[in-house]
Amino acid sequence: MPSAFPVLERHLFGPGPSNPYPEATAGLGLPLLGHLDPEFLRIMDETCSLLRTAWGTSNARTLPLSATGSAGMEAAFVNTVTDGDVAVIAVNGLFGERMCDVAARCGAEVVRVDHEWGAPIDPERVAQAHPNPKVIAAVHAETSTGVRSDIEALGQLKGDALLITDAVTSIGGIELRADDWGIDVGYAGTQKCLGVAPGLAPFTINDRAFERRITTPRSWYLDLGLLGGYVGTGGGGGRTYHHTAPVAMVVSLHAGLNRVLDEGLEQVWARHAEAGQQLQDGLQEMGLELFAQEGWRLPELTTVKVPDGVDSAAVRALLLERHNIEISGGAGAYAATVWRIGLMGHNARPDAALLMLAALKDVLARV
C-alpha cells in the first residue's frame, strides 16, 4: 500500500470546494484542542457569533453542524416535518430535487413546484401551491444551474408556513439577509463562498421555527433540541455533551469567517460580483453562451453552454492536466452540455478570472 502521494496545487474553479482562504488552511493545522477545552468553547461561541453576521440573523440557534451541507438540508427537514406534514418545495435544479427526497423520507407530504432548470423560482406560484403548508422550501443559489432566486419575495408570501432556505452557495458570496427576508430555517456549506474546506454545515433556526419543531426527531445526531445544549444556546447557561465537535474544522471555519468579516460582508459580495462579471463578460466575448437566465445569474457560479462539437469532458481533463484547473460539467440532463465555473471565496479575484479565461481559450484551441 503506497503511503506517499504527490502534492497537487489545484485551482478549484468548479462548483465547490473552492480554494480555502490561507487563514482557514492555517487553522486546520493548529495543535488540536479538546472539544470541551475552555479555549475551544470560546472559539465555538465566537464562530456561532460570526455565523450570525454571515447569515444576517440574530438567531441564538446559529451553529456549525458537524457534517457537510447536505446534512444541513436533512437537519432542516427532520426537525420541522414528520408524517403527514405538508412541505411545498420549489424545484429549479438538483438541490430542489434533493429536498423533495429528504422531506419525503421525513414523512412529509411533498407538494413539488417545478420550474425550468436555468430559471429562478416563481415566488407567487410556490406560495400558492398549497393553502396551508407547514413548510415552504427553496434554494437561494442553485449550484446545479448557477441561478439565484428571490427568497425575500418568497418570505413576504409565505404566510403561516416556515420558510426553509438552502444558502449553500450563497452565504459569503451574495447578499443574504435571513432575518429581513423571513428565513425561518437556513442551512449552508463551508466550502463555497466562505472559503473553508468542506465538512461543516452552517445552520440557523429562529424561535418561531424552534417552537414548532418536531420535539423528538427521527435523527438523534441532528436533533436541534439536543444541539442547543452542545453550543451553549439551549437555555440555562450550561453546556451538555452531545457529540465530539470536529474541532479542527471549527477552528478553520472560525479563521475563515474572521477573514471574510474583517474584509466586510458587503465588500466580499462586491468582490464576488466583480469577478463573476469579469468572467461572464469574457466568456461571452469568446463567443460562448451562458446557460442561466439573464438577470438571475450567480456571480460566484457561472454556467456556460459547451459549444457544439466540443467534447466537454476532454476540455475539463485538459484544463486539469495542463493548468491544474478544475471546473465541472453540468448537473443531471446537462452533464455533457454545460460547464460550471466557480469563482468563490478566495478565488473571487480578478487574477483568477483572467487565468480561467486564458486557460479555457488555450484548451479550446487544442481539443
Residues 185-224 that bind a second copy (CB under 8 A): 189, 191, 197-199, 216-221
At a CB cut-off of 8 Å and minimum separation 6, what does 25 contact?
Answer: 197, 252
Our finding on whether 293 is near a second copy (CB under 8 A) is: no
What are the helix (H) ranges across 197-311? Answer: 207-211, 224-230, 247-263, 265-285
Shortest distance, position 73 Cβ to a second copy, whole Å:
8
Specify the residue, 197 or 205, whose C-beta has the smaller distance to a second copy.
197
Contact 254, 39 (CB under 8 A): no
Our finding on whether 167 is near a second copy (CB under 8 A) is: no
The grid coordinates of residue 62 equal: 446559529
Shortest distance, position 101 Cβ to a second copy, whole Å:
6
Bond prior to 123 in cis (omega within 30° of 0):
no
Q: What angle do CA 149, 151, 157 make, to 5 degrees?
A: 125
Shortest distance, position 160 Cβ to a second copy, whole Å:
26
Q: Which strand (E) or helix (H) includes residue 78?
A: helix 69-78
Shortest distance, position 358 Cβ to a second copy, whole Å:
20
Contact 306, 339 (CB under 8 A): yes
Q: By CB under 8 A, which span of 7-15, 55-63, 132-140, 290-298 interacts with a second copy? A: 7-15
Shortest distance, position 2 Cβ to a second copy, whole Å:
8
Q: What angle do CA 181, 236, 182 make, to 5 degrees?
A: 5
Our finding on whether 1 is near a second copy (CB under 8 A) is: yes
Q: Which strand (E) or helix (H) includes residue 360?
A: helix 350-364
Q: By CB under 8 A, which span of 117-125, 153-161, 256-264, 265-273 interacts with a second copy? A: 256-264
Q: Site for a second copy (CB under 8 A): which residue of 182, 328, 340, 341?
A: 328
Separation CA 364–CA 25 (nearest Å): 33
Separation CA 2–CA 199 (nearest Å): 26
Size of the site for a second copy (CB under 8 A): 74
Q: Which residues of 158-174 are buried (b: 16+ CB within 10 A; e: fewer)?
A: beebbbbbbbbbbbbbb
Q: What is the DSSP string of 21-51?
A: PHHHHHHHTSPPPPTT-HHHHHHHHHHHHHH
Contact 345, 9 (CB under 8 A): no
Specify the residue, 169 or 278, whose C-beta has the smaller distance to a second copy.
169
The site string for a second copy over 116-155 (x = CB under 8 A, - otherwise) reads ----------------------------------------
Separation CA 215–CA 250 (nearest Å): 27
Shortest distance, position 362 Cβ to a second copy, whole Å:
20
Shortest distance, position 106 Cβ to a second copy, whole Å:
7
Q: By CB under 8 A, which span of 36-44, 204-212, 270-278, 350-358 interacts with a second copy? A: 36-44
Specify the residue, 23 or 184, whose C-beta has the smaller distance to a second copy.
23
Site for a second copy in 75-114 (CB under 8 A): 78, 98, 101-102, 105-106
Q: Site for a second copy (CB under 8 A): which residue of 58, 156, 244, 267?
A: 244
Separation CA 343–CA 360 (nearest Å): 14
Shortest distance, position 81 Cβ to a second copy, whole Å:
12
Site for a second copy in 56-75 (CB under 8 A): 66-71, 73-74
Site for a second copy in 261-290 (CB under 8 A): 261-262
Specify the residue, 10 or 125, whose C-beta has the smaller distance to a second copy.
10
Contact 214, 79 (CB under 8 A): yes
Site for a second copy in 9-28 (CB under 8 A): 9-10, 12, 14, 16-17, 19-20, 25-26, 28
Shortest distance, position 157 Cβ to a second copy, whole Å:
28
